[in-house]
């Protein structure tokens, strides 16, 4: 197997893309330039190697910093903006925030309308948890629409979704 790796490295330059899977799902690109030096494998000739690690989007937060960033995001949610958003999609009915809950990836804000006591949930992706929360959200909405149209599986009604409203303070 090492001989196969040596053959790969004998080319002037070869690039390998390695996916690094962790909380931040970052990608590193490892580039091998030159030749490998002093490797006595299967009578392979001496080759020299220079490896460099090119970094793309290196996670800049420690676990503690990530947790703090997540808490700050949740605290920054503006109840008035959340109620205004819910009211806009429910014929201008007045409402209030009656609770919040969060998991690893989303915050659920529970809204209750005064007039008819209807309860809605505003579900917000936690910004520090995703590289592109919008793609995740679109996928979830498409999945719920498909399930509603093609199956008997009960799914919540999606009154609206988007990314054009600021729901945080500051």
Q: What is the mean pLDDT of residues 19-42?
A: 35
Contact present, 73 and 38 (Cβ < 8 Å): no
* 44 located within any domain: yes
Residue 46 and residue 92 in one domain: no
* 50 located within any domain: yes
Residue 83 and residue 137 in one domain: yes
Query: What is the total residue count of the chain?
Result: 170
In this predicted model, what pLDDT tens digit does every residue of 64-106 receive, in sequence order?
A: 888 888 888 888 999 999 999 999 999 999 999 999 998 888 8
Split into its structural domains, the chain has a count of 2
* 144 located within any domain: yes
Selected residue with higher pLDDT from 41 and 17: 41
Confidence check: pLDDT of 23 > 70: no
In this predicted model, what pLDDT tens digit does every residue of 31-75 receive, in sequence order?
A: 333 334 444 444 444 444 444 444 445 556 788 888 888 888 888
What residues make up the domain containing 22? Answer: 2-56
* 167 located within any domain: no
Residue 80 and residue 130 in one domain: yes
* Domain final residue, candidates 20, 35, 56: 56
Confidence check: pLDDT of 118 > 90: yes
Q: Which of 85, 54, 69 is nearest to 167 (CA)?
A: 85
* 136 located within any domain: yes
Sole residue written with tokens 């093609």: 150
Characterize the bridge pairing of strands 50-56 and 95-102: unpaired
Total-model pTM: 0.58
Residue 107 and residue 74 in one domain: yes
Burial profile 48-76: b = 16 or more Cβ within 10 angstroms, e = fewer: eeeeeeeeeeeeeeeeeebeeebeebbee
**Residue 167 neighbours by CB distance under 10 Å:** 17
């Amino acid at each position: 197997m090492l001989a196969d790796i040596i053959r790969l490295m004998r080319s002037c330059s070869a690039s390998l893309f390695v996916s690094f899977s962790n909380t931040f799902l970052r990608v590193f690109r490892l580039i091998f330039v030159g030749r490998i030096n002093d490797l006595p494998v299967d009578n392979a000739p001496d080759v020299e190697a220079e490896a460099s690690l090119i970094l793309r989007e290196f996670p800049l937060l420690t676990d503690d910093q990530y947790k703090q960033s997540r808490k700050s995001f949740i605290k920054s949610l503006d109840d008035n903006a959340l109620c205004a958003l819910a009211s806009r999609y429910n014929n201008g009915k007045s409402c209030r925030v009656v609770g919040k809950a969060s998991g690893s990836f989303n915050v659920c804000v529970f809204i209750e309308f005064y007039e008819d006591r209807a309860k809605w949930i505003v579900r917000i992706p936690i910004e520090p948890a995703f590289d592109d929360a919008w793609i995740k959200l679109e996928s979830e909405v498409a999945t719920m629409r498909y399930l509603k149209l093609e199956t008997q599986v009960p799914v919540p009604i999606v009154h609206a979704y988007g990314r054009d409203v600021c729901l945080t303070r500051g």
